Amino acid sequence: QDARLYEDWKWFRCPTLLEVLLEFPSVALPASLLLAQLPLLQPRYYSVSSAPARSPGQIHLTVAVLTYASEDGRGPLHYGVCSTWLSRLRPGDTVPAFVRGAPSFRLPQAPDTPCILVGPGTGVAPFRSFWQQRLHLLEAGGGPLGPMVLVFGCRAPALDHIYQHEMEEAQERGALSCVLTAFSRKPGAPR
């Protein structure tokens, strides 16, 4: 009856449909009505994080498995639909997928063109494919390479700096000129 009370309950609890039905067992829904009202699962978009020249026949994705507890961390555990499904796959499993192109998001044709890559908390995955392509060029004797500066942000270095060692190697080998990071939740440092 109280819309504000309902909104507070909904945002605090973040209940799944199953949790709502379990909490209110007096709501008896016919299965046909329930199935007719469920929304279709929307596609998930992930950036390819590999270079075809360096990993022929493979596509690498960078996926964070979503897990969270509602009710300020004291409620039931909720899982991301697609990330959890992907994390449970075994080698050889089939993954239904499609490629959504981004023709304007690519490396310049000339490898000596200077590049500044900026990922302010949006993820480093597509940039990994760029430095991998440049590593492939170096391994194949290509060059010279122009400077490439990577600027990216994430929450905490211990959890989110997932490609740190690859970045360091790419920098040592000359595929990356400079890596600048910003951490919004670094212990002992202001946000």
- CATH number of the domain that 119 lies in? 3.40.50.80
29 shares a domain with 72: no
Q: Which amino acid is at 4?
A: R
Distances in Å between the Cα of 143 and the Cα atoms of 16, 106, 109, 113, 139 are 54, 18, 12, 11, 10
Q: Please, which pLDDT band fits residue 172 given cuts at 50, 70 and 90?
A: very high
pLDDT on residue 20: 85
Cβ contacts of residue 64 below 8 Å, gap of 6+? 83
Could you tell me if residue 88 is inside a domain?
Answer: yes
Q: Match 């920098």 to its residue by tokens.
A: 171
Q: Between residues 173 and 38, which one has the greater pLDDT?
A: 173
Average pLDDT over residues 134-140: 94
Domain count, the chain: 2
Average pLDDT score over the chain? 88
Could you tell me if residue 148 is inside a domain?
Answer: yes
Could you tell me if residue 47 is inside a domain?
Answer: no
pLDDT score of 90 more than 70 = yes
Average pLDDT over residues 50-77: 89
Residue 102 DSSP code: -
- The percent of residues above 70 in pLDDT, for the chain, comes to 99
Could you tell me if residue 146 is inside a domain?
Answer: yes
Distances in Å between the Cα of 87 and the Cα atoms of 42, 65, 94, 172 are 18, 7, 13, 32
Structural domain including 164 reads 67-101+108-183
Q: Which amino acid is at 187?
A: P
Rounded-to-integer distance, Cα 136 and Cα 145, Å: 12
pLDDT score of 133 more than 90 = yes
User: Which H or E run includes 17?
Assistant: helix 17-23
pLDDT score of 89 more than 80 = yes
Q: Which amino acid is at 96?
A: P
Rounded-to-integer distance, Cα 149 and Cα 85, Å: 34
As given in the structure block, the two tokens for residue 63 are 């996926």
